[in-house]
Amino acid sequence: MRLENVSTDIPPHDRSFWRQSRVCVTGGAGFVGRVLCRKLRDAGCEDIFIPRRRDYDLTEPGNVRRLYDDAQPDIVFHLAALVGGIGANRANPGRFFHANLAMGMNLIEQARRTGLKKFVQVGTVCSYPKHCPVPFRERDLWNGYPEETNAPYGIAKKALLVMLQAYRAEYGLNGIFVMPVNLYGPGDNFDPHASHVIPALIRKFVEARESHQRTVQCWGTGRPSREFLYVDDAADALLAAGERYESPHPVNLGTGREISIRELANLIAETVGFEGGLVWDESQPDGQPRRQLDVSLAARSFGWRAKTELREGLRRTVDWWIKEGLTHARQTVSA
Q: Write down the catalytic residue from 68, 128, 153, 167.
A: 153
CB atoms within 10 A of CB 245: 22
Interatomic CA distance for residues 101 and 91, integer angstroms = 18
Interatomic CA distance for residues 147 and 127, integer angstroms = 8
CB atoms within 10 A of CB 334: 6
DSSP-derived letter for residue 146 is: B
Asked if 138 contacts 252 with a C-beta cutoff of 8 angstroms, the reply is yes
Q: 3-state secondary structure string, 21-33?
A: CEEEEECCCCHHH
**111: Cβ contacts below 8 Å, ≥ 6 apart:** 68, 76, 119, 167, 173, 175
Q: Which residues on neighbouring strands pair with residue 4, listed in sequence order?
A: none
- Give yes or no: 153 in active site: yes
Indicate which residues carry an active-site annotation: 153
